[in-house]
Amino acid sequence: MNKHNNKYIWTFFLLTISALFMIVSVPGIAVSDHVPKIGVENSARTVPNADGFIQRWLILEPITASGDTQNSVQRTVKTDVFPNQLKMIPKHGEKVTVGGSELTWHAVDTDEYNVNLYYFASEIGKGADNALFWTVVVVNCPEEMTNVRLAIGSNSASVWWVNGEEVIGIYGDRQCTIDDGVSKRLTLKKGPNVIRGAIINRSGAADFCARILDSEGKPLKGYTVSLNETGK
């Protein structure tokens, strides 16, 4: 092999390595995300991270679902497939029956700004394609907080509720982008407030992120995160 060929081989090698580093650095791409921790009892994620992202959630094992258009997603999330679907605050390990199969709620922690649902599903021996993931968290406020907004991103579509009120939905085959969907201005009451999300993934990478913004559009501070209404 002559020097001329060696030059092209090394150039190809360096370009390939550079491309891989670019992929790893892009937020929302599955290869950059850490595997979420499942079943952590004494979590340190009791407050949002420095950028305001909530890093602790209860997530139900995936339910088979298809379609990411607004009509299909709304039809899916409004179809009751287990009791108190839009009201229950589950516990880690609690089970519900969907289509004759038992599905389990899992406490999930992440070190990232987002929760990687592809890895979550893989860790529990499930698939993330054509799947609906229900997720719940409780936000505990020391006082009433007005003019705040829920800001979310997801891969693919998702619908979100705060204290039982639907506040935001994003649809279609999309990457998880920070603040891709932002709710109208809301009031969080003193005490526990329930955030609930339904994420539908068509295929491939699957993840979501959520944070609360204050009246100036900055990450809200001064609240804690828990998996139940007792604040623990």
Please state, as a whole number, how many other Cβ atoms lie within 10 Å of the Cβ of residue 77. Answer: 25
pLDDT for 40 equals: 85
- Architecture in CATH for domain 33-226: Sandwich (2.60)
For the chain, what's the residue count?
Answer: 232
pLDDT for 20 equals: 41
Beta-bridged to residue 108, according to DSSP, are: 38, 57
Along the chain (232 residues), what's the average pLDDT of each consecutive run of 10 residues?
52 45 38 74 90 98 95 96 95 95 96 96 96 98 98 97 98 96 98 98 95 98 92 66
Taking the C-alpha atoms of residue 35 and residue 117, their distance in angstroms, rounded to an integer, is: 9
pLDDT for 232 equals: 65
pLDDT for 229 equals: 81
Taking the C-alpha atoms of residue 169 and residue 157, their distance in angstroms, rounded to an integer, is: 8
pLDDT for 26 equals: 37
pLDDT for 83 equals: 93
Query: In Å, how far from its chain's centre is CA 169?
Result: 13
pLDDT for 33 equals: 47
- The model's pTM is 0.84
Are 163 and 194 in contact by the 8 Å Cβ rule? The answer is: yes
Beta strands in 8-144 (DSSP E): 37-38, 56-60, 63-64, 95-98, 101-109, 115-116, 131-141
> Cβ neighbours of residue 101 under 8 Å, at least 6 residues apart?
none
Taking the C-alpha atoms of residue 64 and residue 61, their distance in angstroms, rounded to an integer, is: 10
DSSP helix/strand/coil, 46: coil
Are 188 and 110 in contact by the 8 Å Cβ rule? The answer is: no
Taking the C-alpha atoms of residue 74 and residue 89, their distance in angstroms, rounded to an integer, is: 21
